[in-house]
Amino acid sequence: MTAMDSTFAALLARMQELKDLSGVIGLATWDQETYLPRKAEEARGEQLSTLQGLYHERLVDPRLGELLSNATPGDADQRAMMLRLSEERDRQLKVPGRLVRELAQVQSQGLAAWKRAREAKDTRLFFPVLARLLELRREQADALGHDGERYDALLEAYEPGMRVARLMPVLEALAAKLTPMVAAVTARPPPADPFAGKTFDPEAQWRFTMGLLPALGFDLEAGRQDRSVHPFTGGTHPFDVRLTTRINPATPLPAIFGTIHEAGHGLYEQGFAPPHHRTPLAAAPSMGLHESQSRLWENVVGRSRGFWSHFYPSLQRAFPAELGSTSLDVFVGAVNRVERSLIRVEADELTYNLHIVLRTQLELSLLRGQLEVKDLEAAWNEKSRVLLGRTPAHPAEGVLQDIHWSSGELGYFPTYALGNLYAASLFAAARRQLPGLEDAIARGELSVLREWLREKVHAQGYRLRAEELVTQVTGRGLTDEDFLASMRARHQL
Amino acid sequence: MTAMDSTFAALLARMQELKDLSGVIGLATWDQETYLPRKAEEARGEQLSTLQGLYHERLVDPRLGELLSNATPGDADQRAMMLRLSEERDRQLKVPGRLVRELAQVQSQGLAAWKRAREAKDTRLFFPVLARLLELRREQADALGHDGERYDALLEAYEPGMRVARLMPVLEALAAKLTPMVAAVTARPPPADPFAGKTFDPEAQWRFTMGLLPALGFDLEAGRQDRSVHPFTGGTHPFDVRLTTRINPATPLPAIFGTIHEAGHGLYEQGFAPPHHRTPLAAAPSMGLHESQSRLWENVVGRSRGFWSHFYPSLQRAFPAELGSTSLDVFVGAVNRVERSLIRVEADELTYNLHIVLRTQLELSLLRGQLEVKDLEAAWNEKSRVLLGRTPAHPAEGVLQDIHWSSGELGYFPTYALGNLYAASLFAAARRQLPGLEDAIARGELSVLREWLREKVHAQGYRLRAEELVTQVTGRGLTDEDFLASMRARHQL
């Protein structure tokens, strides 16, 4: 333990208080999605709003500003803690309370309008609110400050340090390379569907996923898994990480890959270094880097033939009647099926990034004012045709499919694609640095990879920006090369 | 809705914030006892301590004091809300922070020392800390203020308005009347034990208790039941009331009566009037009155022959092999067995209050300085002999059996006895006011009683003091007459 300046000690107590509050917000949110009685939904909304109000109040407290100005960090980690807290605090201070309240109000109208519009398949029920949300987001971006590109200011909330000028060339080049690959793979006869017409007992699915978690190294004494309608990772502390999964009796894939995906997020949270606990360093540097961990485990590892050469026999034992006569190759083919889907959340690994490019281009054009909301549906449908090769029949399977824009969230979508690219690059680096890694995975020995990720990524917390950390680990920054190489290998392209 | 003065509106927002915070403390506590991963115990302690610190800080905030001084209540309920909040705030303000911190520290030493002492069956490991806790409690009582009886100041935390001068004569007269009744009942041959040597499937027990809850009128859309080591009632809001139960495979009684007991608490919480939600009126006037509801359902209703004449067939269906040949009379006899037990938490309805009189007399003497800690074990054993007719073989089944004194909690024990007395008086009043009540119960129609309690007790919230409310409902205040009459009837005395 570094000797601690007394002002820094007071600052640390404030950091711990803020982290505890956000942990409790995490608990109330987790509970809302898992165990909250139906009639308590409004009460929980009020409780969460009270907690968020207190968090905000404590963050912008002038006394915290004084401590941040006067404390002397004892080492590089303490310096980083102060930097991260200052960044968060400065962002909060820049946006006037009036705008925060108006945004919250219009966001809540937006959510209700979007639900009605999606139900009625009619964009006119939502687009007027979206136009208002865009105005408010422009105001917010201007309040936060930017170098002429408002989107940068919004992106900063999800992917600190990332800029449009860095992001868009990567995403657009990626799209150009993916389009012919998708065409080539979808021109082949589709793989067999070994699940069609079968029922997979939900309890057996649950047990199988609960067996996967320790195999992946998720510590069930420092976390848990429950069920929810939409799977997510939450919790209150690195020793209290909570995953959820959902079970579909018609196919075991959502439960299996949902569990592996969330376990990837969960391993990140469990892997924060104990000296970082209850400080701003117990955090991922970005949503994209967090997503890289879920996608690395779900896709890079979890859809590999090697992984299933070890785990498939136990899945067959869980479903002897349903999968006993399905070969490993048929199963692995099915979990890597490529399809031109209209729906992002159902998209496979190869087409997924195209869904992201579509959304990122559109939201950037909207924010810049290059695209008007009245033209958004037509623009979506045209891009869908070009990028995905399919045009939505109605907006519920097109421009209204995702919840993000209902609250005017701009800048979130690209983090999914960044997650895919970082995942591939991190795995490629692991393969270079860990000889025999793929053989170990094929023996079900996942600890080599997990411990490497823990040391190189998780235990680093929020010391560095995402791309700085990836560069430190892989020797190169954001690139699509490793992702494309992995896709070429998996689909024999 | 009453027209609202703008200062009162600001005050109401503060009340709601405080109630939301205490709701979230309730969630974090519930979670700690049900779903928290093992390794997160310390982190949860820190989170709870942060939340409690914020609650305290908001309660003593001078701005809240100004609002309380300046707001104009629009009606009697608003006036009552202000009164209750002022009472709570004044109590917090009276005790110096130095004393609060020292108490917390010595309480935590006390808990650890008590556990070691109970384990080693050696009071010397705990009594020095108890002596220090008594000193601090005397200091606390003096800070809070009293009319020469420090115990009154402590009692106020659990049973506002109750005084030693009112309580002790009632408890001591009750003990005098109970002693010969216990002697008479225990002189009879004990009832048959229909559970001995059998195993009761935990899942079937769980399902039976989950079926009891709606029958009792507990709303499972505004609450839930889970399992925990020590059953309790918690939650975050009247629409989010959380019960727990524990299951013992050797006998179904702990799960059944635990569930009914906690459901009694839960019905109280669910029954607060919606206009009182998120205000200080959504609270019971005292622990004793809260306990009256759990004991009314558990003992007065739940151990009656009428109740089981309706519910016993479904219990037999749940356990056909185990209870199929046990008659209703044998079952009802077993759930009303009277025994001279040394352990309070295992005591039956008839002997329970004797355990309370023992503890209340001792803790009062300790606080007054009439009894020294070094003589406490001998005093306990002597009182146990006189009141219960048995002497503990060692302190783990005597003076060290309960957790309460480990944190120097004085004044809590008598609320259990008050609960018993109030329960009997409320049920007697219900019987007078609701003709045919016992026939309805024997038909499994519990809603008549529940709705009566909701109107007369639950929906009153914390408008009145406990004894005032009981007087309003029953026409008489605290008395042992109804309790004794009920015991005479049940045990044919």
Substitution target from B239, B241, B244, B278 for chain A, most A beta carbons within 10 A: B239
Residues of A in contact with B222 (CB under 8 A): 37-40
Given B94, B127, B155, which residue is the final one in a domain?
B94
- For residue A224, the cross-strand partners are A242
B155 touches B91 (CB < 8 A): no
Nearest CA distance, B214 vs chain A (angstrom): 14
Q: Is the pLDDT of residue B4 over 90?
A: no
Residues of B in contact with A277 (CB under 8 A): 43
Cβ separation A37–B277 shorter than 8 A: no
Cβ separation A222–B31 shorter than 8 A: no
Cβ separation A20–B46 shorter than 8 A: yes
Residues of A in contact with B223 (CB under 8 A): 37
Q: How far is CA A24 from CA A21, A104, A113, A267, A285, in A?
A: 5, 21, 30, 20, 21
In terms of domains, do B347 and B213 share one?
A: yes
In terms of domains, do B84 and B118 share one?
A: no
Long-range contacts of A303-307 (CB under 8 A, 24+ apart): A303/A257, A303/A332, A303/A335, A303/A336, A303/A349, A303/A490, A304/A438, A304/A441, A304/A490, A305/A332, A306/A438, A306/A439, A306/A441, A306/A442, A307/A441, A307/A442
Cβ separation A236–B47 shorter than 8 A: yes
In terms of domains, do A398 and A315 share one?
A: yes
pLDDT digits (tens, 9 = 90+) for B12-37: 999 999 999 999 999 999 999 999 99
Q: Is residue A402 part of a domain?
A: yes
- Give the active site residues of B: 262
Whole-angstrom distance between the N-terminal and C-terminal Cα of chain A?
Answer: 53
pLDDT digits (tens, 9 = 90+) for B359-390: 999 999 999 999 999 999 999 999 999 999 99
Q: Is residue B410 part of a domain?
A: yes
Q: Is residue B202 part of a domain?
A: yes
| pLDDT mean over A61-90 | 97
Give the number of other CB atoms < 10 A from CB of residue A488: 12
Q: Establish if A98 touches chain B: CB-CB under 8 angstroms.
A: no
Reduced to 3 states (helix: H, G, I; strand: E, B; else coil), residue B461 is coil
pLDDT digits (tens, 9 = 90+) for A338-374: 999 999 999 999 999 999 999 999 999 999 999 999 9
Q: Which residues contact B474 (CB under 8 A, 6 or more apart)?
A: B425, B426, B428, B429
What distance in Å separates the CA atoms of residue A263 and residue A240, rounded to the nearest whole number? 13
Cβ separation B43–A35 shorter than 8 A: no
In terms of domains, do B66 and B90 share one?
A: yes
> H-helix or E-strand containing A44?
helix A41-60
In terms of domains, do B443 and B397 share one?
A: yes
Cα–Cα nearest to A284, from A163, A404, A164, A159 = A159
**Band (B3; pLDDT cuts 50, 70, 90):** low
Cβ separation B47–A223 shorter than 8 A: no
Interface of B with A in 13-42 (CB under 8 A): 16-17, 20-21, 23-24, 27-28, 31, 35-40, 42
pLDDT digits (tens, 9 = 90+) for A110-148: 999 999 999 999 999 999 999 999 999 999 999 999 999
pLDDT digits (tens, 9 = 90+) for B102-120: 999 999 999 999 999 999 9
Q: Establish if A72 touches chain B: CB-CB under 8 angstroms.
A: no
In terms of domains, do B200 and B61 share one?
A: no
User: Considering only alpha carbons, which residue of chain B is nearest residue A238?
Assistant: B40
Cα–Cα nearest to A418, from A407, A410, A426 = A426
Q: Is the pLDDT of residue A1 over 60?
A: no
What distance in Å separates the CA atoms of residue B268 and residue B257, rounded to the nearest whole number? 17
Q: Is residue A245 part of a domain?
A: yes
pLDDT digits (tens, 9 = 90+) for A21-65: 999 999 999 999 999 999 999 999 999 999 999 999 999 999 999
pLDDT digits (tens, 9 = 90+) for B48-97: 999 999 999 999 999 999 999 999 999 999 999 999 999 999 999 999 99
Given B70, B94, B118, which residue is the final one in a domain?
B94
Residues of B in contact with A239 (CB under 8 A): 37, 39-40, 42-43
In terms of domains, do A281 and A390 share one?
A: yes
Lookup: tokens for A145: 């400050």
Cβ separation B37–A277 shorter than 8 A: no
| pLDDT mean over A296-302 | 98
Number of domains into which chain B is organized? 2
pLDDT of residue B455: 98
DSSP conformation class of A248? B
Q: What is the Cα gyration radius of chain A?
A: 23
Interface of B with A in 242-281 (CB under 8 A): 277-278
Residues of A in contact with B42 (CB under 8 A): 239
In terms of domains, do B125 and B250 share one?
A: yes
Q: Establish if B217 touches chain A: CB-CB under 8 angstroms.
A: no
Q: Is residue B6 part of a domain?
A: yes
Residues of A in contact with B29 (CB under 8 A): none
Question: What pTM did the predictor assign?
Answer: 0.95
Residues of A in contact with B43 (CB under 8 A): 23, 236-237, 239-240, 277-278
Q: Is residue A133 part of a domain?
A: no
Among B16, B20, B37, the residue with its CB nearest the CB of A239 is B37
pLDDT of residue A4: 80
Reduced to 3 states (helix: H, G, I; strand: E, B; else coil), residue B223 is strand
pLDDT digits (tens, 9 = 90+) for B137-185: 999 999 999 999 999 999 999 999 999 999 999 999 999 999 999 999 9
Catalytic residue selected from A156, A159, A262, A349? A262
Question: Domain with A401 in it: what CATH number?
Answer: 1.10.1370.30
Average pLDDT, chain A: 97
A310 touches A444 (CB < 8 A): yes
Q: What is the Cα gyration radius of chain B?
A: 23
What distance in Å separates the CA atoms of residue B237 and residue B219, rounded to the nearest whole number? 13
Average pLDDT, chain B: 97
pLDDT digits (tens, 9 = 90+) for A458-490: 999 999 999 999 999 999 999 999 999 999 999
Cβ separation B240–A37 shorter than 8 A: yes
pLDDT digits (tens, 9 = 90+) for B215-227: 999 999 999 999 9
pLDDT digits (tens, 9 = 90+) for B177-186: 999 999 999 9
Q: Establish if B72 touches chain A: CB-CB under 8 angstroms.
A: no
Given B63, B94, B125, which residue is the final one in a domain?
B94
pLDDT digits (tens, 9 = 90+) for B282-303: 999 999 999 999 999 999 999 9
pLDDT of residue B2: 53
What distance in Å separates the CA atoms of residue B447 and residue B216, rounded to the nearest whole number? 8
In terms of domains, do B222 and B280 share one?
A: yes
What distance in Å separates the CA atoms of residue A135 and residue B406, rounded to the nearest whole number? 60
Q: Establish if B50 touches chain A: CB-CB under 8 angstroms.
A: yes
Cβ separation B43–A17 shorter than 8 A: no
Q: Establish if A51 touches chain B: CB-CB under 8 angstroms.
A: yes
Percentage of chain A lying above the pLDDT 90 cut = 99
Nearest CA distance, B58 vs chain A (angstrom): 10
Among A42, A47, A54, the residue with its CB nearest the CB of B54 is A54
**Band (B1; pLDDT cuts 50, 70, 90):** very low
Question: What ipTM was estimated for this complex?
Answer: 0.94
What distance in Å separates the CA atoms of residue A490 and residue A467, rounded to the nearest whole number? 26
Q: Is residue A144 part of a domain?
A: no
**Band (A100; pLDDT cuts 50, 70, 90):** very high
Among B16, B24, B239, the residue with its CB nearest the CB of A28 is B24
Residue whose entry in the numeric block shows the structure tokens 């937006």: A110
Q: Is the pLDDT of residue A158 over 60?
A: yes
Range of the domain at A32: 1-89
In terms of domains, do B298 and B179 share one?
A: yes
In terms of domains, do A84 and A175 share one?
A: no
What distance in Å separates the CA atoms of residue A397 and residue A410, rounded to the nearest whole number? 20
What distance in Å separates the CA atoms of residue B39 and residue A148, rounded to the nearest whole number? 48
What distance in Å separates the CA atoms of residue B148 and residue B157, rounded to the nearest whole number? 17
Among A40, A46, A236, the residue with its CB nearest the CB of B43 is A236
What distance in Å separates the CA atoms of residue B128 and residue A385, rounded to the nearest whole number? 80
Q: Is residue B354 part of a domain?
A: yes
What distance in Å separates the CA atoms of residue A486 and residue A493, rounded to the nearest whole number? 10
Reduced to 3 states (helix: H, G, I; strand: E, B; else coil), residue A241 is strand
Q: Which residues contact B212 (CB under 8 A, 6 or more apart)?
A: B256, B259, B260, B263, B311
Residues of A in contact with B241 (CB under 8 A): 37
Cα–Cα nearest to A332, from A303, A364, A289, A368 = A303
In terms of domains, do A75 and A201 share one?
A: no
Lookup: tokens for A24: 């409790």
Cβ separation B37–A278 shorter than 8 A: no
